Amino acid sequence: MVQIQKQAPDFTADAVMPDGSVKEIRLADYRGKYVILFFYPLDFTFVCPTEIIAFSDRIEEFRSRGAEVLGVSVDSVYSHLAWRNQPRTEGGIGQVNYPLIADLDKGISREYGVLLDKPAVALRGLFLIDRDGVVRSMMVNDLPLGRNVDEALRLLDALRHVEEYGEVCPANWEPGTKAMKADPEGLKEYAGAVYA
């Protein structure tokens, strides 16, 4: 089962790539990059296309930060391909700028702790994995609750800040705002600047 501060469970699976080809990929193929791994319930549903499109339309913001996005559902690659061929204006997803992984046997969803029993679909899990393959953040939403791409980017920025500066990121931290050293003096300095 997936845990924060532990290696992300590796997997090998078929995926529909951005160019529309089908390729076998492994999570380990992405070592050296940050990974946003997100699960969604099913193709041809309702909240799901809005999330897939939102991440796809902003893929360059992730890549400029050294991150890749991977989407996973319990559908087949054939279902992914058919959904890509349906226009966005008709509930389809069109071209997607990152791989959509087929978890037909539900093993990946089960390993990441997001698989529901009934219906046997994945909850909306989002996992931030660092360049060494370690899970640094995980959020799981119920089926009707769509995610926020800005929050995924903010968490990625916070992790990069922690790694680069050795500071921790307080509530509502965003790039350009004050962080703090993780000690009593750091908290005192932060509190004096923010709450004064």
Tell me which residue has tokens 């991440």: 55
pLDDT at 78 over 90: yes
Domain 12-147 top-level CATH class:
alpha beta
Quote the pLDDT of residue 95.
96
* pLDDT tens per residue, range 141-150: 999 999 999 9
Is residue 1's pLDDT more than 90?
no
Q: Where are the domains of the chain?
A: 12-147
Residues annotated as catalytic are 48
pTM of the model: 0.97
Residue 122, pLDDT score: 98
Q: How many Å apart are CA 88 and CA 128, to the nearest integer? A: 27
Write the pLDDT tens digit of every residue in 50-74. Answer: 999 999 999 999 999 999 999 999 9
106-125 pLDDT, tens per residue? 999 999 999 999 999 999 99
